[in-house]
Chain A
Amino acid sequence: MGINVTSNDESGEVNIAISGRFDFSMNNEFRKILVDSSGTDSSYLIDMGAVDDLDSSALGMLLLLREKAGGDEANIKIRKCQPDIIEMLEMANFQTMFDIS
């Protein structure tokens, strides 16, 4: 259970791999990502392959990241979501704010 952050020096893209239950308990680790963000210069790839559940706090955190990374100009990709995770993201209308697949 946790967040694993690596950054690709070539492309400058930050790779965030989340595993287990993505909820409020991850807020401390997530803060680090927010603090390290360089705003619109950062691009992120969030790997949700190992995420088995989401709650509203996870969605809140993703929105905070988007805000920090430039709002509408943010470049955030969310990948490898399981079907019910996608359902939740779509229900909150995240497909218009993030690049989801």
Chain B
Amino acid sequence: MTEILDSYNNLRQSGPISGSRVKWLFLVVFLYTGMVVGLWVYEQYFLLLIAGLLSAWISAFYIRHFYNGVANDGEDVGNSITESVVAQNQRYSSITQKMNDENRAISEEVSRISNIISDATAELSTSFNTMNEQAGQQKQLMSSILAGSDSSCGDDNTSMSLDDFIEDTSNMMNFYIQTIVDTSKESVRLVYKLDDLCERVVSIENLLKDLKFISDQTNLLALNASIEAARAGEHGRGFAVVADEVRNLSMSSVDFSSQIHNVVADAVTGIKEAREVIDEIASKDLRFVIDAKSKNTKLSQQIHALQKKSDENMYKVSAITESIDESVGVAVRSLQFEDIATQLAAHVIERSNYMEQVSADINSALETSLSVKDRNELEASIKNICDVCDSGIEHIEGIRKSAVSQEKMDAGDIDLF
């Protein structure tokens, strides 16, 4: 518009009706009038006639020039304004086209954002649901482990817990110790009984001594009897035989005695060997067992401590699993933002489409204005452009009003699935 005004002002400055030119005109007319009056006063009627003709011709010339100029200027101004408007509309047309392109680009990018959000939330949703399931499984496993560590873990009726096992081991060790000590006690008692037995057996030796004395005496008596028998001669012959037999008997008695002596000696040796065996049975080193028992106690303590620690950790893990559950729940709920986001995106695209429509209309109106030939066509096309703009404004106002009802997303308003 300023272009048009500028060119109009230029014409005014340089045209025949400019201010400075008017001044010159008045001066010339004044002088001319003076000259005509002078001629008439001096009755130079021929010169006056020529001056009159001259002035008529000059006036005619000037008036025609002036009229043409004005007409031309008018036409120039008209043409110049038309050109400027056309140039302006060209600019508008190209700008609206550029804005249209940008609009389309915005629309496409918003659409892409919307798609990305949709895809991402779908994946996140799946992922969180999987996490939820796995957290649930974890929790179940925890429960079963915790239950298992308290009581029995086994399939048959004779199953027992770790505690029972440790107690059983401890009891077994005590039983073993008792057995050893009792065995030792009875072994010593046995040894004492063997000692008594040994004494008894050895006392046979004394009896053997007596037996020896008797057989010696018997031998002596038999000898005496033989002598007496010899003294008695023929009458003593029977007696001599008897005496000999008695002597033989006492000899075999000595023989038996020595055999008994050997048996006793063997018995004593046997008893002594038995004593040695019992010595070994009775003499058990207890230090080994003490070590084993104290190790068992330590092991038991360690196992208890471990178990306690393990239980504590299990409970902790259980609690953590619960909170994972909750966190996942929160995450799933917050994915609902996707709904609002995609709705908003759709709205943006809709508005963008409206704008595209409006600017397309304006553009086509502007296009027609580029081919105007004269002032009437220009007026018509400018009116057309104004109409299109007005309806476009109305349209956009209409969209604005419906968009105001879209509120910001608030977690409290979202329904939980």
Contacts and interface: CB of A to CB of B under 8 A. Distances in A.
Interface in B157-202: 174, 177-178, 180-189, 191-192, 195
A24 B279 contact: yes
Nearest to A62: B185
Contacts of B285: 55-56
Size class of the contact patch on chain A:
20 to 34
Q: Which among A30, A31, A91, A93 has the greatest number of chain B C-beta atoms within 10 A?
A: A91
Contacts of A91: 177, 286, 289-290, 293
A92 B185 contact: no
B187 A92 contact: no
Interface in A40-92: 54-57, 59-61, 63-64, 87-88, 91-92
Instruction: Tell which of A27, A61, A87 has the most Cβ of chain B within 10 Å.
Output: A27
Nearest to B179: A56
A60 B178 contact: no
The B contact surface, by secondary structure, is helix
B178 A57 contact: no
A31 B185 CA distance: 13
B284 interface: yes
B59 interface: no
B286 to A, nearest CB: 5
B284 A56 contact: yes
A55 B283 contact: yes
Contacts of B185: 59-61, 63-64
B188 A55 contact: no
A60 B290 contact: no
A92 B177 contact: yes
24 contacts: A31-B195, A34-B192, A54-B286, A55-B184, A56-B183, A56-B282, A56-B283, A56-B285, A56-B286, A57-B187, A57-B284, A59-B184, A60-B181, A60-B182, A60-B183, A60-B184, A60-B186, A60-B188, A64-B185, A64-B189, A87-B290, A88-B287, A91-B290, A92-B286
